[in-house]
Amino acid sequence: MEESSNSMVKLTASNYSIWKTRMEDILYCKELFEPIELNGIKLDAKTDDEWKKLNMKAVGHIRQWVDQSVFHHVAKEVDAYLLWLKLESLYERKTAQNKAFMIRRLVNLKYKDGQNVTEHLSNFQ
């Protein structure tokens, strides 16, 4: 594993906001963010084969950092932009109901005996 991905976390149903930021950083560093940044539209500067290869590299890299509990949602996606949108629609917190859920979850968050402090702090974040 490369240095930039040492601190990467796998996407679960509860850590999308952290995962998204880190995944964007990694995709930019590896020059794989173009299919997402351009909304899936190929620029004329790239051949169809180059675009397809870049897109599949991005898809593969994103899927690599998706937990098994979430993977079934994205297993059939072959377009990086559509994959990104799908994950965003599933996990990004936008509604008042989701905000209320997160506040309730924060209020009820308690340290469990034997739990790793780092894990507890991660849950808090």
Q: To which H or E segment does residue 42 belong? A: none
pLDDT tens-digit series, residues 107-116: 777 777 777 7
Mean pLDDT per block of 10 residues along the chain (125 residues) reads 63 87 94 93 90 95 92 92 92 68 74 73 64
Residue 98's pLDDT is what?
63
Residue 64's pLDDT is what?
94
The total number of residues written for the chain in this structure: 125
Residue 101, token pair as written in the block: 């859920």
Residue 122's pLDDT is what?
66
Residue 4's pLDDT is what?
46
Residue 3's pLDDT is what?
42
Alpha helix (H) ranges present in 1-125?
16-29, 34-37, 48-64, 68-71, 80-91, 96-107, 117-124
